[in-house]
């Protein structure tokens, strides 16, 4: 019996040691997952947030991105490709938090599928963003693709793209559509 208890204690000790080691030395996949969870927390806000907190969170949010971020949005209602600097992201985040249309916002980064590059310092992350505001349910459920890179031990977002879950046919231009001709 004593031996069994000793073995159990030893196993628990080894398990605990492995857990502590993995907590402080996460794999790139785990580090990215944690980073995305932090990103979701930083994007989310409550209605009672003060101006100082707004500015602080907006600045913190910008820190999740590279100095220059490429944004590609391809949705039925909007299509654009542009670059944004950290400063612009900061301003955008602050404007979003101060907008009278969004009293609060809750964002979740769900089901990240992480594909690491050969160097294990870059990654493509496909994930589902779910965002809801107070009162409205499911304001946005959108599949996204992030290109990330590890810089000085931190995973930064270099590129943000929307992913089409369902592919809609291109809206016919007037000249293309015989029915409209």
Of the two residues 100 and 178, which places its CB atom closer to other proteins in the complex?
178
Using the rule CB under 8 A, give the single segment among 8-16, 42-50, 88-96, 107-115 that binds other proteins.
107-115
- Short-list 143, 149, 147, CA closest to 160: 147
- Considering only residues 30, 68, 82, 111, which one is a binding residue for other proteins as defined by CB under 8 A? 111
1 near other proteins (CB under 8 A): no
Rounded Cα gap, residues 90 and 62, in angstroms: 5
Judged by CB under 8 A, the stretch of 13-21, 26-34, 127-135, 148-156 that binds other proteins is: 127-135
* Residue 16 in the binding site for other proteins (CB under 8 A): no
Contacts of 120 (CB under 8 A, 6+ apart): 28
Choose which of 37, 110, 134, 151 interacts with other proteins (CB under 8 A).
110
Classify the C-alpha dihedral 107-108-113-117 as positive or negative.
Answer: positive
Give the range of 20-28, 44-52, 55-63, 122-130 binding other proteins by CB under 8 A: 122-130
Answer yes or no whether residue 153 interacts with other proteins by CB under 8 A.
no
| 1, 100, 135, 167: residue in contact with other proteins (rule CB under 8 A) | 167
Selected binder of other proteins within 76, 99, 115, 151 (CB under 8 A): 76
- Does position 143 interact with other proteins (CB under 8 A)? The reply is yes
Nearest to 146 by CA among 161, 130, 131, 165: 161
Q: 102 with 109: CB under 8 angstroms?
A: no
The residue behind tokens 């779910």 is 130
| 110-118: Cβ within 8 A, 24+ apart | 112/32, 112/33, 112/36, 114/28, 114/29, 114/32, 114/33, 116/28, 116/29
Give the footprint of other proteins on this chain (CB under 8 A).
76-77, 110-113, 126-128, 130, 137-138, 141, 143, 163-172, 176-179
């Amino acid at each position: 019996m004593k031996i069994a208890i000793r073995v159990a204690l030893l196993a628990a000790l080894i398990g605990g040691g492995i857990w502590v080691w993995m907590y402080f030395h996460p794999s790139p996949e785990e580090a990215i997952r944690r980073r995305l969870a932090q990103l979701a927390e930083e994007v989310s806000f409550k209605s009672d947030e003060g101006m100082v907190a707004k500015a602080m969170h907006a600045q913190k949010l910008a820190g999740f991105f590279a100095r220059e971020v490429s944004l590609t949005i391809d949705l039925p209602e909007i299509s654009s490709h542009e670059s944004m600097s950290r400063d612009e992201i900061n301003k955008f985040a602050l404007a979003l938090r101060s907008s009278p249309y969004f009293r609060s916002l809750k964002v979740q980064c769900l089901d990240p599928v992480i594909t690491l590059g050969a160097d294990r310092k870059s990654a493509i992350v496909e994930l589902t963003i779910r965002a809801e505001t107070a009162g409205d349910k499911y304001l946005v459920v959108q599949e996204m693709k992030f290109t990330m890179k590890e810089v000085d031990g931190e995973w930064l977002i270099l590129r943000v793209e929307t992913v089409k879950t369902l592919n809609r046919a291109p809206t016919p231009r007037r000249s293309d559509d015989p029915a409209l001709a």
